[in-house]
Chains A and B, each alone.
Chain A
Amino acid sequence: MADFLQIQGVSKSFGPFQAVRDVTLSVAQGEIFSLLGGSGCGKTTLLRMLAGFEDPTAGRIFLDGRDMAGVPPWARPVHMMFQSYALFPHMTVEANISYGLKHDALTPAQRRDRVREMLDLVQLTPTATRKPHQISGGQRQRVALARALARQPKLLLLDEPLAALDKKLREHTQFELMSIQARTGVTFIVVTHDQEEAMTLSDRIAVMDRGQVQQVGSPTEIYEYPVNRFVASFIGAITSFDAEVVARDAGFLTLHVPDFGGQVTTREADFAPGTRVTLALRPEKLVISKDRPPGNAVQGVVKDLAYFGKDSLYRITLASGALVQAHAVNQARGAAMVADWDDQVWLSFQPSAAIVLGG
Chain B
Amino acid sequence: MTRRPTFLLSVLAFGFAFFYVPILSMMVYSFNASRLATVWGGFSTKWYGALMSNSQVGEALLLSLKIALVSSTLATILGTLAGIALVRFTKFRGRTLFSGLVTAPLIMPEVITGVSALIFFLLLAGWIGWPAQRGFTTITLAHVTFSMVFVTTIVQARLLQSDRAIEEAAMDLGTRPWGVLWDITLPVISPAILSGWLLAFTISLDDVVITSFTTGPGSTTLPLLIWSKVKLGVTPDINALATLMVLAVGLGVAVAGVVMNRAEARRLADERLAYRAQG
Contact = CB atoms under 8 A, between A and B. Distances in A.
Interface string B244-279: 000000000000000000000001001101110111
Interface residues of A, number: 37
Contacts of A136: 274-275, 277-279
A89 B188 contact: yes
Given A88-B184, A135-B277, A136-B279, A151 B173 contact: yes
Given A74-B175, A90-B187, A138-B279, A133 B168 contact: no
Contacts of B174: 74-75, 100, 103-104, 151
A62 interface: no
Interface in A272-296: none
Contacts of A90: 187-188
Nearest to B187: A90
A131 B188 CA distance: 13
Interface in B133-169: 163, 165-166, 168-169
A39 interface: no
B168 A147 contact: no
Contacts of B267: 133
Interface residues of B, number: 25
Contacts of A26: none
Interface in B168-182: 168-176
Given A136-B277, A136-B279, A88 B166 contact: yes
B277 A84 contact: no
A133 B175 CA distance: 23
A79 interface: yes
A137 to B, nearest CB: 8
A80 B172 contact: yes
B171 A74 contact: yes
Nearest to A127: B277
A87 B166 contact: yes
11 contacts: A74-B174, A75-B174, A76-B172, A80-B168, A88-B188, A100-B174, A131-B270, A133-B274, A137-B278, A138-B278, A151-B173
* Ranked 10 nearest A-B pairs via Cβ: A100-B173, A103-B174, A86-B165, A86-B169, A136-B278, A86-B166, A82-B165, A134-B270, A90-B187, A73-B171
Interface of A: 51-53, 72-76, 78-80, 82-84, 86-90, 99-100, 103-104, 127, 130-131, 133-139, 147-148, 151, 169
Given A90-B187, A138-B278, A138-B279, A133 B172 contact: no
A84 B165 contact: yes
Contacts of A87: 166, 169
Contacts, number: 84
Contact of B173 (A99, A131, A139): A99
B171 to A, nearest CB: 5
A131 to B, nearest CB: 8
Contacts of A80: 168-169, 172
A75 B273 CA distance: 37
Contacts of A86: 163, 165-166, 168-169
Q: Which one of B172, B274, B275 has the greatest number of beta carbons of chain A within 10 Å?
A: B172
B166 A73 contact: no
Contacts of B173: 74, 79, 99-100, 103, 147-148, 151
Given A100-B173, A100-B174, A151-B174, A139 B166 contact: no
A127 B278 CA distance: 12
A74 B172 contact: yes
Contacts of B176: 74
Contact of B169 (A82, A104, A130): A82
B229 to A, nearest CB: 47
A90 B185 CA distance: 10
Given A86-B163, A86-B165, A136-B275, 7 more contacts: A79-B172, A87-B169, A104-B174, A134-B274, A138-B279, A139-B277, A151-B173
B175 A103 contact: yes
A295 B184 CA distance: 67
Given A134-B270, A134-B273, A169 B279 contact: yes
A90 B167 CA distance: 13
B264 to A, nearest CB: 13
A137 B277 CA distance: 9
Contacts of A51: 168, 172
A108 B175 CA distance: 19
